[in-house]
Homo-oligomer: A and B are copies of this chain.
Amino acid sequence: MDNYSSRIMIEKISPEIDGGSFPIKRTVGEKVVVNANIFADGHDEIVAVLLYRSADEDDWHEVYMKPLGNDHWIGSFPIEKEEDYLYSIRATIDEFSTWKKDLEKKINADQDISVDLKIGKQILENTIKIVKKKSTEKIFDLYIDELQASEDSNVLSSILMRDELSNIIQQNINIQKNTTFSKELKVNVDRKLALFSSWYELFPRSWSSQPGKHGNFKDCEKLIPEISRMGFDIIYLPPIHPIGKTNRKGENNSTKCKKNDPGCPWAIGSEEGGHKSIHPQLGTIESFKHFVNKAKEFNLEIALDLAYQCSPDHPYVKEHPQWFKWRPDGKVQYAENPPKKYEDVLPVNFETNDIVDLWEELKSIVLFWIDQGVRVFRVDNPHTKPFIFWDWLIAGIRKDYPDIIFLSESFTRPNIMYRLAKGGFSQSYTYFTWRSSKYEFIEYMTELTQTEVAEYFRPNFWPNTPDILPAHLQHGGWPAFIMRAVLASTLSSNFGIYGPAFELCVTEAITGKEEYSNSEKYEIKQWDWDKKGNLKNVLSRLNKIRKMNPALQFTRNIQFCEINNDSILSYYKATEDLSNIILVVVNLDPYNTQSGSLQMPLDKLGIDKERPYSANDLLSGDKYIWKGPTNYIKLDPQRSPAHIINIKQHL
């Protein structure tokens, strides 16, 4: 019979991902804005409460929701603890407000209200009976005494109509009785790094101090101070495991492998071990842990590559042949994307009947590296493994290690990338790498920040990766590299580069392709890191600007500005209190100077259009005084393809 008493409908709650099947994501300092349609039959007044609590709390916090008209209600709550949160909505009829609203109309129409006043007193008494907080009981008692002291309608009415009384009642309304309670929805709260991070990818084997030799973790330790100076948070290493010998690929992905070719790190496993082993030339578990700890001293974390695939020499192939596909010729099936062949890599067969052991073993790999001090994983090709495997793996790891961050490397169709994010990935690769026009940026950022996607998909923008050297970097010279670094690091609060190919502006590509020629994936490189023209100082400046300006530590707060030139992209990000406002203006044309009239939305920025405000370019150090919304912008890519401007109006 409980249902019979429910008169309230709560519909179209947002955010609610796939009917509540998946959590939304937040970090401490963010808030959750909840919208819903809430209504009842008839014309009674409604009170709606947004409930929320962190996983370690037993009781709900309550926030009164605000009606915006046409049954649309809104409320929000802050994320204050690094714990997952739950939220829900409760709503009920507000009898006293309903009565008061009607009484006001009757008073205005000069109707007799003597009986209505008695009804109001009754409602008040009922409310008091079910009052929640001891603290307000006394106030109510005072009201009752006052009401009983008089029979005069004017006196009674003036008491009952007091705003104070309405407020106390609303705050004490019996939200338990006759209440509709929506389902409980979940917020996965990650540590701040999940939302705000700078990644630096490097191949450790290329960093030996002795030319031609295979680098190791000890060599890499020497890079840490400089990577830290550049302001990165995470050093991400391609797989560090033994590399297979069977069908090992040579330079430029050749099937002909020369004697000393080191092989591709993603061809994991040899007689020297598999996913829980370290390639002997890189070092040992001990030297790896030393490297991790050294990085920690510089506030840097080491991210490992989680590539669930095996070389034909991986111990799994003999120990668990049932985890692979076997062909009618008795050979094990290697990875294919016809007509492309990856003879050095075997995919894991997720359709094996031995699924429990397989899943548990794959999970144990993550746990093994967690034990070695790793807290960040970049997951290779997650979209070629079942979604429900990731759901299970990440939920299981997160339960015991809520600080683990998983970055999804998936460049495929949007629904697939979004499904992986829903399933738990903390961050995701994106299409940023191929977006280059103003229209594309605005469209893509709108999708990522203004739709439901923003609730669970945290973009990570990469200008380049070992797999991708996009056309605009091949041809645009160093201005293109700076332009892409500014875009990646200011459009998205998470960004990363594959270095030092990026800061050394490497542009040699395989003809007609967006791929590096002589890729580091197949050979040991020697990098002249301090080569003239390197962009290390630019990266350092960008990361410093990001760290100093909280507005850039979020992605969803982006707003685009109007500027009358299709080659100039402009946007701003501001903190909610407007104490930090960063305006970014980027010349998307690396060849020509571009200029235009920029329109600043001063109203939204809380800036008085009659008074000057300062516009300090944090990239160049130039300082301007602007006034009013329209400002002339001119960007010579040979000088600097972008402004990152701190906007401030002094009181």
Chain A positions within 8 Å of B, measured between CB atoms, are: 1, 3-7, 9, 11, 18-19, 37, 39, 41-43, 70-71, 102-103, 105-106, 108-109, 111, 115, 118-119, 122, 178, 327-329, 331, 336-339, 350-351, 355-356, 359, 383-389, 413-416, 419
- Taken together as a complex, chains A and B put the C-alpha atoms of A102 and B336 apart, in Å, by 9
Known: A339-B109, A359-B4, A386-B41. A413 touches B328 (CB 8 A): no
B115 touches A329 (CB 8 A): yes
- Taken together as a complex, chains A and B put the C-alpha atoms of A618 and B4 apart, in Å, by 52
A157 to chain B, nearest CB (A): 14
In the complex, the count of this chain's copies comes to 2
Partner of A1, one of B39, B105, B355: B355
- Taken together as a complex, chains A and B put the C-alpha atoms of A506 and B305 apart, in Å, by 80
B4 touches A415 (CB 8 A): no
In the assembled complex, which residues on chain B have CB atoms less than 8 Å from the CB atom of A115?
327-329, 331
- Taken together as a complex, chains A and B put the C-alpha atoms of A122 and B325 apart, in Å, by 13
- Taken together as a complex, chains A and B put the C-alpha atoms of A198 and B490 apart, in Å, by 61
In the assembled complex, which residues on chain B have CB atoms less than 8 Å from the CB atom of A3?
388
- Taken together as a complex, chains A and B put the C-alpha atoms of A9 and B119 apart, in Å, by 56
The chain B residue with its CB closest to the CB of A106 is: B338
A293 to chain B, nearest CB (A): 36
B41 touches A71 (CB 8 A): no
- Taken together as a complex, chains A and B put the C-alpha atoms of A334 and B37 apart, in Å, by 30
A415 touches B39 (CB 8 A): yes
B339 touches A419 (CB 8 A): no
B41 touches A387 (CB 8 A): yes
A17 to chain B, nearest CB (A): 10
The chain B residue with its CB closest to the CB of A114 is: B329
B108 touches A386 (CB 8 A): no
- Taken together as a complex, chains A and B put the C-alpha atoms of A109 and B350 apart, in Å, by 28
- Taken together as a complex, chains A and B put the C-alpha atoms of A386 and B318 apart, in Å, by 67
A7 touches B350 (CB 8 A): yes
B419 touches A9 (CB 8 A): yes
The chain B residue with its CB closest to the CB of A333 is: B119
B415 touches A70 (CB 8 A): yes
Partner of A39, one of B7, B41, B413: B413
A272 to chain B, nearest CB (A): 29
Known: A327-B115, A386-B6, A387-B41. A413 touches B108 (CB 8 A): no
A68 to chain B, nearest CB (A): 13
In the assembled complex, which residues on chain B have CB atoms less than 8 Å from the CB atom of A9?
387, 415, 419
A4 touches B388 (CB 8 A): yes
B109 touches A338 (CB 8 A): yes
B339 touches A105 (CB 8 A): yes
A328 touches B39 (CB 8 A): no
Partner of A329, one of B118, B327, B329: B118
Partner of A41, one of B18, B119, B383: B383
In the assembled complex, which residues on chain B have CB atoms less than 8 Å from the CB atom of A329?
115, 118
Known: A11-B415, A122-B328, A328-B115. A5 touches B384 (CB 8 A): no
The chain B residue with its CB closest to the CB of A38 is: B415
In the assembled complex, which residues on chain B have CB atoms less than 8 Å from the CB atom of A71?
413, 415-416
The chain B residue with its CB closest to the CB of A121 is: B328
- Taken together as a complex, chains A and B put the C-alpha atoms of A118 and B326 apart, in Å, by 12
In the assembled complex, which residues on chain B have CB atoms less than 8 Å from the CB atom of A351?
5, 7, 178
In the assembled complex, which residues on chain B have CB atoms less than 8 Å from the CB atom of A338?
102-103, 105-106, 109, 111
In the assembled complex, which residues on chain B have CB atoms less than 8 Å from the CB atom of A1?
355-356
- Taken together as a complex, chains A and B put the C-alpha atoms of A384 and B102 apart, in Å, by 16
A227 to chain B, nearest CB (A): 34
